[in-house]
Amino acid sequence: MMSNKKVWFITGASNGLGLALVKLVLSNGDRVVATTRNTEDLKSKVFGYESDFLPLNVNLKDDENVKMAVKQAIDQFGQLDVVVNNAGYVLGGSIEELTDQEFRATLDVNLFGTVNVIRAAMPYLRAQQSGYIINISSSAGYAGYPNAGSYSAAKFAIIGISEALHEEIKPFGVKVTVVAPGEFRTNLWEEGAIAFAKNSLAAYNSTAVAETLSELSGKQKGDPEKLVAILFDLSRNPNPPLHLLLGPDAYQLVIDQREKEKDEINTWKEITLSTNFD
C-alpha cells in the first residue's frame, strides 16, 4: 500500500537549489532520497529527519549505479513519486577552447545523468501508473550563452528530451515539467564553483568572463527559497505545465529570443518555402 507521504528522488542535493529543496520537502512531511558525491557532508546539513531521509553517494554518469540508487529508494520507502533532475555544473570556455574530453564530461553530468535517472525511474513510475518528473534546465536552454556552449548544449537537450518524454509517458499517468530558471542567488557562480577549459585562448578572454560571474555572485535577484516552494507546489498540482520559466530575466530572455527567431524566419521565408518539387 502506498504511503500518503510522497517520496522524492532529488539529484545534486549538496548545495544550492537541490539542498534548499531537500530541506523544504522534508519540513513539509514528505520523504527524500537525495544523491550527492559526499553523503557525510549532506548529512551535516540535513538532520532531524532520519526516518524520512536517505542520502546516497551516486555517480550519475554510471547507469548501473543510478539504477541501484533508484532501487534503494524503492526498497527503503516502497514507492517513488517525484523525481527532480537538478545536478549539473557550468564549464566556462568557448567551443574552440574546450577539449573533446571536457565537452563530453559536461554532457555526462548535465545531460546523461538526467537521462540515466529517467531510465531508472520510469519502470517503477509506469508500473504505479503515477509519478512526476521535474527536469531542471536553464534560460541557457533557450538561448545559447557564449563561453558556456557545452552547458547550453546540455540544457537545450534537456528541454527537447522533456518534450519527447511528455508524449511518451502520458498514457501511464506520469507527468513531466522542464523548469528553466534565470539567475538565482545560489553558489553556482561563486569563485571556484565554475570550471574552466584548460586550453585558455587570449582571444576569448575567459579570465574576464570568470571575473564578471564572480562579481555577480550573491547579487542575483532570484530567491531560491521561492523557486523550491514553487517546485513543491507543482508536486501537488494535478495539471502541472510542461514548460515553466522561473524569474523575470528568464521570461524576458525567452520572449526576446522568440521575437528574434520570428523575424529571422520571416526574413528567409521565401527560401524556406522554395524547396518542394515543382
Which residues are designated catalytic?
Answer: 137, 151, 155
Measured in whole angstroms, the distance separating CA 89 from the mean position of its chain's CA atoms is: 10
